[in-house]
Structure 1
């Protein structure tokens, strides 16, 4: 029996083990690691909001704090919800294992391998991108010190944190420790997004593979009807293959619906915060030159805007990806020579046609449908809110 955890989710297992969220290994050490990392993230948010105690709460100041603290809020939300649904992920992997245990055709196994390669490719690319981004951030923080060593100047440069935070200590004296805490929070948060996000991507890739297997089974069954003489024995075999195609199609839809329903609250929060975050950072980008601030301060809001748009696009593209694969099953059923099949086979095919008459989508509470059109809607809404905020200044 093939173990999908070891063969298909090995990279995801390593990433989730680092943050203590691998469903099949929950020791006391993993729980302590989860509490420790969650503490780093929550304290990073807390020390950003404490700046309101010692500063004048102007509109621009509030926007600046929120545009940074919401990033860490996303980290915490995704971390907590994934921890809450860790048993759900374990059950989903078990269900996927059961489906794969029923595969016997080498072509079907080849389809699984293809989509597994896609999942691993996405995981590797996103991991490399995350590591490079963190390294670039750390280098940027110490770049001025490096320049000061290479080209010494007499003017002392004040230390500056990547985000505004109040620790109620001498910031100059304890700058290294404060910076270490914030950098640790950024690294942990990035690791949370990377590990949980790539796990969900890998799982949805395998669901798409199930849709593809359903299309293959339909083609294979109808091809056999065309090439072979119709007999009672052959009819029984064709009926069984069509039934298996319908069954795996049903299982693929159920797995995707279960995954969406369990993470529905998390998705609602991420959608709302993502729109607000994008709007506030767009405002930051346009406001910095007007206030006469340093141009280099525009770097962080620009990175956040790029990351927010990329995150929204990837999430909605996955929803569109699922819908397209389901539609491909419909196109396959429609294009095969179903009219030459026996009547009871045609009834099964008609069942698939009727089921696919309505698009199968990844929807969140019936209010939001993950698709490229919805991605455009989110970006448009963010720009609209930015315009409203900007017009009020």
Structure 2
């Protein structure tokens, strides 16, 4: 009876820990109607609200493009316009892959049940906690950058109060948009609308990205657990301090089969992440590259200090966004390749020949890295991150030559 109660308490404690590690991603997905376990009507209502707000923002920006009288005005409108499209792609990517997202999220909770030792649980806790911290830092940075970018438009009005001139300073909207009203008269209403739409837009972006970070950290944790099992292939699965000596070959083979099964499960999770995000990442990469090039062009052409500062904040946010994806992609590559080294560093020479052959097959499989790609064309890694920067600079040079 006492043992049964201890097991119940242990299971409830583990469930509490899981909810703690994934609560940030869950809340953001819930706000944009993409959490897999929401009621269908609730999901549809929140998603419809987000899409309507984004469509409203796109409408005012497209209207601004139509009233522009030169290419510089159009280029100035494009960076924030592309950001809204990027957020819309992220939100709809989860909508069109709802079943796969549910399968991935199920994995997050179920995979904890296959952990057999305290060491394995500590490994998964470490990576789950990393995912939570990455999400928290990323979300905080995105919100701070957005609020800073939007509130810079209030600086002229504040300056009029603190250091008044004979005439009022010209108004400056947070981003180019056409509202079909007198901007001077309705400045504060427009600024409030821009702030709300920008925060909702960024919330959709954060929800997508934080859940992606959580998935990558989870699969990296799985690969680390698998590597730990291969390193301790001669140990009992639930007792890592007692070595298996003079046991039948079936015991060794059972341990190897269990480790190989865990490795296949990790590979399946990584492949499912790739399937879910591959197409949307291709669209996001194209939007980010164009946006980066156009923003660089704007910085080169602007002579106003306030506008230049705003676009510096914006371009740094774009680089931070792209770097986070490249860093996570590189982390997945490194963790998937480490399995081969873990097997080689284990006591493989002490197990029967049949078991060694199973390990050899696994080593061959692990020489191929698991990756996150954009339609199998672009692989997210730190090396590819520099390639995107070079491509954006090339586009910037071409655009600058045309705008002269």
Which of these residues, 110, 115, 132, is aligned with residue 103 of structure 1? 115
Q: 2 CA distance for matches of 1:297 and 1:307?
A: 15
Q: Which stretch shifts more, 261-270 or 175-184?
A: 175-184
Alignment of 1:331-370 (within 5 A): 331-370=341-380
Deviation of 1:85 (Å)? 2.1
Alignment of 1:147-166 (within 5 A): 147-166=159-178
Deviation of 1:130 (Å)? 2.7
Q: Residue 229 of structure 1 corresponds to which residue in structure 2?
A: 245
Alignment of 1:377-388 (within 5 A): 377-388=387-398
Give SS of 1:263's match.
helix
Give SS of 1:179's match.
helix
Alignment of 1:40-119 (within 5 A): 40-56=53-69, 58-119=70-131
Give SS of 1:385's match.
helix
Q: 2 CA distance for matches of 1:263 and 1:229?
A: 46
Q: 2 CA distance for matches of 1:227 and 1:208?
A: 27
User: Residues 119-171 of structure 1: CA distance to partner in whole angstroms, max 9, x if unpaired?
Assistant: 11112212322333234335423233333323333321232211111122222
**Is the contact between residue 329 and residue 381 of structure 2 (CA under 8 Å) also seen in structure 1?**
yes
Q: 1 CA distance for matches of 2:68 and 2:154?
A: 27
Q: Specify whether residues 304 and 136 from structure 1 end up closer, same or farther in structure 2 by C-alpha distance, changes over 3 A only.
A: closer
Give SS of 2:149's match.
helix
Which of these residues, 284, 297, 300, is aligned with residue 283 of structure 1? 297
**Is the contact between residue 123 and residue 224 of structure 2 (CA under 8 Å) also seen in structure 1?**
yes
Deviation of 1:324 (Å)? 0.4
Q: Specify whether residues 16 and 370 from structure 1 end up closer, same or farther in structure 2 by C-alpha distance, changes over 3 A only.
A: same
Q: Structure 1, unaligned stretches of length 5 or more?
A: none
Which of these residues, 251, 254, 262, is aligned with residue 276 of structure 2? 262
Deviation of 1:227 (Å)? 4.7
TM-score by length of 2: 0.89
CA RMSD in angstroms, aligned pairs only: 2.1
Q: 2 CA distance for matches of 1:297 and 1:140?
A: 9
Is 1:252 aligned to residue 262 of structure 2?
A: no
**Is the contact between residue 40 and residue 181 of structure 1 (CA under 8 Å) also seen in structure 2?**
no
Is 1:13 aligned to residue 53 of structure 2?
A: no
Q: 2 CA distance for matches of 1:252 and 1:184?
A: 40
Q: 2 CA distance for matches of 1:76 and 1:268?
A: 14
Q: Residue 5 of structure 2 corresponds to which residue in structure 1?
A: none
Q: 2 CA distance for matches of 1:80 and 1:242?
A: 41
Give SS of 1:154's match.
coil
TM-score by length of 1: 0.92
Q: Residue 121 of structure 1 corresponds to which residue in structure 2?
A: 133
**Is the contact between residue 299 and residue 308 of structure 2 (CA under 8 Å) also seen in structure 1?**
yes
Deviation of 1:61 (Å)? 2.4
Q: 2 CA distance for matches of 1:140 and 1:374?
A: 33
Q: 1 CA distance for matches of 2:164 and 2:306?
A: 21
Q: Specify whether residues 345 and 103 from structure 1 end up closer, same or farther in structure 2 by C-alpha distance, changes over 3 A only.
A: same
**Is the contact between residue 278 and residue 305 of structure 1 (CA under 8 Å) also seen in structure 2?**
yes
Deviation of 1:43 (Å)? 1.5
Q: Residue 285 of structure 2 corresponds to which residue in structure 1?
A: 271
Q: Residue 219 of structure 1 corresponds to which residue in structure 2?
A: 231
Give SS of 2:370's match.
coil
**Is the contact between residue 261 and residue 364 of structure 1 (CA under 8 Å) also seen in structure 2?**
no
Which of these residues, 160, 168, 173, is aligned with residue 180 of structure 2? 168
User: Residues 252-279 of structure 1: CA distance to partner in whole angstroms, max 9, x if unpaired?
Assistant: 1111111221222211100111110101
Give SS of 2:233's match.
helix
Q: Specify whether residues 54 and 139 from structure 1 end up closer, same or farther in structure 2 by C-alpha distance, changes over 3 A only.
A: closer
Deviation of 1:329 (Å)? 1.0
Q: 2 CA distance for matches of 1:143 and 1:295?
A: 12
User: Residues 170-194 of structure 1: CA distance to partner in whole angstroms, max 9, x if unpaired?
Assistant: 2222222222222112101111111
Q: 2 CA distance for matches of 1:85 and 1:146?
A: 46
Q: 2 CA distance for matches of 1:304 and 1:153?
A: 30
Q: 1 CA distance for matches of 2:367 and 2:266?
A: 17
